[in-house]
């Protein structure tokens, strides 16, 4: 009889830990819940990393805060869920998170076979190689016979295989399941080369004891467009996430910054008026408020500011904008007009 009660207690405790999650009306669910559940990495400096007090910062983190600002009017109402490369997609599919902002590469198979939708490109990246300066290697084509550390569960493994096969080079692959293990193995000398997306190379390099002893080789062997991901089946939420990113890019294009957004709301320029909601009701068409872009820029600034602060000149990574410059400044970041 004791165990009968025990069964009742444990079953109820078990049931209490189950939480129903709605797949369809994500916007409504988030607003009802009062907090945005955002899937991020387990600690990638510049993109999503917690500091010692547990406060998250990074490019992907800024995007989530912008999203929370438009939907809940509070950029701090975000629950960050650290995910490994292996369970990032299942977490999104099962409804555990509302959006996956985890430097995820947009590819055809992921867009179709996983039941997910890639919204837009936050960061145009590619795969590269990190080697020690002491090896005096200047190009990836000199890596015949090397040992290469790579993380499993990513496209990096397959791109690596394709590249070495196409160039008739031999290599030894050393694969680990988390980025931390991989970089630790590279540092201990188990392998000569560490391969990953170039942005990750710069970020992981910071975790090495003497970052300046290592150099990123110039070859980019794949296209890795990184961006936020949502589930199939919720078009409104898809539009909201997509246009949040586009709003940040458009804000940079129109020179609306975190500092001057207050005065810019009084501007007469038609594009800025449309952007900041003083003219028209574009925000409401998305299901948000009129001042949705004002909220975004007040919370995290425009795309350029967020980039600089997290991965660019104002950060420890110091990655150059490169392809991520605006289209009218030599890069390929191009957002459709807000009108």
Partner 1 sequence: MATAPRRPPFRPLAHLARALSGGTGWKGIAGQLAFAGLLAWLAFDIVTNAQDNLRAQHIASGFGFLSGTAGFSVNQALIRYSEADTYLRVFEVGLLNTLLVSIIGIVFATLIGFAVALGRLSPNWLLARLSGGYVEIIRNLPLLFQLLFWYLAVLAALPNPRQSLSIFGVAFLNNRGFVVPHVVPEQGAGVFAVAILAAIAASLLMTVYARRRLYRFGDRLRVWPFALALLVGLPLLSIALFGAPASFDLPVLRGFNFAGGTRVTPEFVALTIALSTYTASFIAEIVRGGLLAVPKGQMEAGASLGLSRPAILRLVIIPQAMRLILPPLTNQYLNLTKNSSLAVAIGYPDLFSVFAGTTLSQTGQAVEIIAMTMAVYLAISLITSALMNLYGWYIDRSQRA
Partner 2 sequence: MNGSETIFVRKTLAPARKAPVITTGLVGFLRMRLFNSPLNIALTFASVALAWLILEPTIRFLLIDAVWTGSDRTACLADKAGHPVGACWPFIQAKFTQLIYGFYPEDQRWRANLTFALAALLLAPLLVPKIPGKTLNAALFFLAFPFLAFFLLRGGGLDGFVFYWLAELFGMAWKPSLLRFWLDFSLTTTIVTAAVILLWGGWPNGRRAGLSSALTFAGIAIVIVALRLDQGGLPVVDTRLWGGLLVTLVVSITGIVASMPVGIALALGRTSRIPLLRIFCVAFIEFWRGVPLITVLFFATYMLPLFLPGDFTIDALVRVLVGIALFAGAYNAEVIRGGLLAIPRGQREAANALGLSYWKTTGLIVLPQALRHVIPALVNSFIALFKDTTLVLIVSLFDLLGQLRAAFADPTWATPTTLFTGFAFTGIIYWVGCFAMSRYSLFVERRLNAHRQT
Among 157, 180, 279, 308, binds partner 2 (CB under 8 A): 180
Among 109, 113, 168, 209, binds partner 2 (CB under 8 A): 209
Q: Is 138 in the site for partner 1 (CB under 8 A)?
A: no
Q: Is 12 in the site for partner 2 (CB under 8 A)?
A: yes
Of 156, 149, 211, 214, which is closest to residue 185 (Cα–Cα)? 149
63-102 positions binding partner 1, by CB under 8 A: 85-86, 89-90, 93
Three-class DSSP category at 3: helix
Three-class DSSP category at 136: coil
Q: How far apart are CA 168 and CA 144, in angstroms?
A: 8
Nearest-approach distance from CB 186 to partner 2, in angstroms: 12
298-337 positions binding partner 1, by CB under 8 A: none
Of 64, 32, 30, which is closest to residue 48 (Cα–Cα)? 64
Binding map of partner 1 across residues 157-186, x = CB under 8 A, - = no contact: xx--xx--x-----xxxxxxx---x--xx-
Give the number of residues in contact with partner 1, rule: CB under 8 A: 38
Q: Among residues 109 and 328, whose Cβ is nearest to partner 1?
A: 109
Residue partners of 154: CB distance under 8 A and separation at least 6: 85, 105, 196
Determine how β-strand 123-125 pairs with β-strand 116-118: unpaired
Q: Among residues 144 and 255, whose Cβ is nearest to partner 1?
A: 144
Nearest-approach distance from CB 102 to partner 2, in angstroms: 14
Three-class DSSP category at 21: coil
Residue partners of 319: CB distance under 8 A and separation at least 6: 46, 198, 199, 202, 311, 312
Binding map of partner 1 across residues 105-124, x = CB under 8 A, - = no contact: -------xxxx---------
Question: Which range, of 130-138, 180-188, 225-233, 282-290, touches partner 2 by CB under 8 A?
Answer: 180-188
Q: How far apart are CA 196 and CA 185, in angstroms?
A: 14
Q: How far apart are CA 119 and CA 105, in angstroms?
A: 11
Residues that bind partner 2 (CB under 8 A): 1-3, 5-10, 12-23, 42, 50, 54, 79, 81-82, 84, 86-87, 90, 94-96, 177-178, 180-181, 183-184, 187, 206-209
């Amino acid at each position: 009889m004791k165990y009968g009660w025990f069964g009742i207690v444990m079953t109820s405790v078990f049931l209490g830990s189950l939480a129903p999650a709605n797949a369809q009306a994500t916007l409504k669910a988030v607003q009802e819940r009062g907090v945005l559940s955002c899937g991020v990495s387990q600690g990638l400096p510049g993109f999503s990393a917690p500091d010692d007090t547990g406060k998250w910062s990074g490019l992907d983190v800024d995007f989530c805060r912008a999203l929370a600002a438009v939907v809940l009017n509070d950029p701090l109402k975000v629950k960050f869920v650290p995910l490994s490369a292996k369970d990032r997609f299942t977490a999104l599919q099962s409804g555990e998170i509302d959006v996956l902002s985890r430097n995820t590469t947009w590819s055809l198979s992921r867009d179709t076979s996983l039941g997910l939708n890639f919204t837009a490109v936050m960061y145009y990246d590619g795969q590269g190689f990190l080697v020690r300066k002491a090896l005096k290697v200047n190009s990836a084509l000199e890596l015949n016979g090397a040992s290469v550390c790579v993380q499993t569960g990513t496209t990096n493994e397959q791109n690596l295989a394709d590249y070495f096969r196409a160039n008739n080079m031999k290599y030894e692959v050393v694969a680990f399941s988390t980025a931390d293990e991989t970089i630790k193995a590279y540092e201990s000398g188990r392998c000569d080369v560490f391969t990953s997306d170039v942005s990750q190379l710069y970020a992981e390099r910071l975790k090495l004891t003497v970052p300046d002893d290592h150099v990123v080789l110039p070859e980019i062997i794949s296209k890795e467009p990184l961006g936020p991901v949502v589930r199939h089946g919720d078009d409104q939420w898809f539009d909201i996430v997509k246009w949040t990113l586009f709003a940040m890019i458009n804000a940079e294009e129109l020179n609306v910054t975190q500092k001057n957004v207050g005065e810019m709301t009084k501007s007469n320029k038609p594009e800025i008026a449309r952007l900041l909601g003083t003219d028209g009701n574009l925000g409401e068409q998305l299901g948000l408020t009129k001042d949705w872009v004002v909220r975004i820029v007040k919370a995290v600034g425009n795309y350029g500011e967020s980039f600089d602060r997290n991965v660019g000149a104002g950060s420890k990574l110091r990655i150059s904008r490169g392809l991520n410059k605006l289209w009218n400044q030599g890069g390929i970041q191009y957002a459709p007009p807000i009108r």
